[in-house]
Structures are given as structure tokens and as C-alpha cells.
């Protein structure tokens, strides 16, 4: 296993990222992974069409100069604990979790490859990215589903995540699918966690104790740490939520996990 180094980086995307006109978010991921020297593993477990998903990302990553590209199509816990999977991830400079159905990623929680990814990320030897379903799986708690306009326990379903972002609950396709009630519900049920809602073609680059927003949309942060939360008797009844903090962060904005404060970053290119 690798020695030393500073913590690695995570690029978490809200889905529907640009895959043609400059491929901004994916181009940033490739650069972080080592450019044409990158060794990227695409984990397609969440997808119900893994062949199509792999072909699409293979096309984009090849265009961006990546020659060393592999797939992990994990069908169960045995695959996630196998020597073959472990060897592939030990050599990788980047891991990319595709979109799909995040519940399929529950089989990775607590697995051997999850431990390898966490350890190599902590040692600064790996860059991890996730998009859509692959994004929400990276938090300590994973949002599995939920719809509706109300803020209630019934408006969101959650399960254990991979724990790579211990500070947060992550939701995706956020503005496009009107998911603020779902994220508010999740945070109200677990107010120590920040809620991070990512618009499409938008991501957060997490380095150390904070993140920078990149892409073309907005990142929404919900902070209920000091809010008043009153949970009703019934799961379909509305949750009382006073004093919640809401931040809307476009590209270039910064956020500090320790102080839970946003900031306007220095002027730079959108991506």
C-alpha cells in the first residue's frame, strides 16, 4: 500500500455532466488523475445498462487522452471483496462511480474495495469521482429515493453510504428535479450532517476541509446544525424546522466544512 502523502481529492457531480463541448468536469477529473498518465477505474455497478455507460465514458476519457482505462462491474459482495478488484484499485490513480440506481451500491458498503478506496484517498494516492447515483453514494448516509413537495420523514429514503464524505448528505439532479424538500427532509432527520444538493453539470471539488464549486449550475448547502427540529408522530406529517441555513453557491464559490461557512472564491475560469 502507498505511504505518506496528503489527503486525496473527491469530485462529486450532480449528473448530466457535459461529455462533448470541452467535457469540463470530466476534463478536470482526468487532470487530477494524472492526465495521459492516469489509470482510471470506472465502477458501473449502479447502472442497469453498464455496456452503454462504459462505452460513453470510454469515448470521453479516450478523447481526453486516457489510455489506461478499466471497468469494475461488481455483481455482489464476492466481487467487491475479490483479489482481482483489490489489485485493480490498488494500481488506479482515479476511480469513477457512474450513475444509475444508488441502491445497487449498497453492496459495496463495508467491502474490501471500499476500504482500499478510503485508505488510498486518505493517503493522497487516489482521486475519486461520482456522478448522479455515484455521487450520493459517497456520503456517510446515502439518499436512496423519495419524492413529493412536503418536508417529512416519508419524503426521503436513506441507507448507509461509502463514507468518503463524512460531513454530508448528497443529492443530485437537484434544481432540475425540485429536490429541495427531499434534502431538507434528510437533513431534518440527521441535522449534524450538511445537505449538499448538486445541479446537473455541476460539481464540488473536495480538498482537505472544504470544497470549491465548479460547473455551470448551483450547489445548494443546507445546514440545520443550530436549527430547531420537531419530528411529528407520523412519518407523513410535516416536520417543524426553524432556523435552518440555506446557501446557494455558483461556480467559484468555496465552502469550509469546519466552520460551516461559504465564501466567494477568486475569479477564475468556470471549470
The catalytic site residues sit at 132, 173, 200
What number of residues does the chain have?
Answer: 271
| Alpha-carbon distances, residue 149 vs 57, 178, 219 (angstroms) | 34, 8, 20
Q: Would you tell me the crossing angle of helices 24-33 and 50-63 to the nearest 10 degrees? A: 70
Gyration radius from the chain CA atoms: 18
Q: Are 200 and 173 in contact (CB under 8 A)?
A: yes
Lay out the sheet containing 165-171: strands in order across.
157-160, 139-145, 165-171, 194-198, 218-223, 245-250
Name 5's Cβ contacts closer than 8 Å, sequence gap at least 6: 123, 124, 125
- HSE-up (13 A, CA, CB side) for residue 22: 9
Amino acid at each position: 500500500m502507498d505511504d505518506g502523502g496528503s489527503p486525496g481529492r473527491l469530485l462529486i457531480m450532480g449528473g448530466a455532466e457535459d461529455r462533448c463541448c470541452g467535457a469540463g468536469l470530466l476534463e478536470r477529473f482526468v487532470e487530477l488523475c494524472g492526465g495521459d498518465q492516469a489509470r482510471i477505474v470506472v465502477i458501473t455497478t449502479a447502472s442497469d445498462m453498464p455496456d452503454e455507460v462504459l462505452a460513453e465514458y470510454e469515448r470521453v476519457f479516450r478523447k481526453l487522452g486516457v489510455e489506461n482505462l478499466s471497468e469494475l462491474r461488481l455483481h455482489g459482495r464476492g466481487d467487491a471483496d475479490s483479489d482481482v478488484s483489490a489489485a485493480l484499485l490498488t494500481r488506479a490513480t482515479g476511480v469513477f462511480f457512474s450513475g444509475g440506481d444508488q441502491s445497487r451500491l449498497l453492496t459495496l458498503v463495508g467491502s474490501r474495495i471500499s476500504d482500499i478506496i478510503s485508505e488510498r484517498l486518505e493517503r493522497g494516492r487516489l482521486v475519486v469521482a461520482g456522478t448522479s447515483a455515484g455521487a450520493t453514494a459517497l456520503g456517510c448516509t446515502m439518499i436512496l429515493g423519495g419524492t413529493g413537495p412536503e418536508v417529512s420523514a416519508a419524503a426521503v429514503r436513506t441507507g448507509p453510504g461509502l463514507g468518503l464524505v463524512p460531513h454530508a448528505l448528497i443529492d443530485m439532479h437537484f434544481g432540475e428535479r425540485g429536490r429541495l424538500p427531499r434534502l431538507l427532509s434528510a437533513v431534518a432527520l440527521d441535522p449534524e450532517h450538511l445537505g449538499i444538493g448538486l445541479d446537473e453539470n455541476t460539481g464540488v471539488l473536495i480538498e482537505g476541509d472544504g470544497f470549491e464549486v465548479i460547473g455551470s449550475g448551483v450547489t445548494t448547502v443546507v445546514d440545520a446544525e443550530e436549527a430547531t427540529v420537531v419530528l411529528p408522530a407520523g412519518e407523513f406529517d410535516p416536520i417543524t424546522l426553524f432556523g435552518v441555513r440555506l446557501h446557494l453557491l455558483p461556480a467559484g464559490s468555496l465552502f469550509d466544512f469546519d466552520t460551516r461557512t461559504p465564501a466567494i472564491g477568486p475569479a477564475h475560469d468556470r471549470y
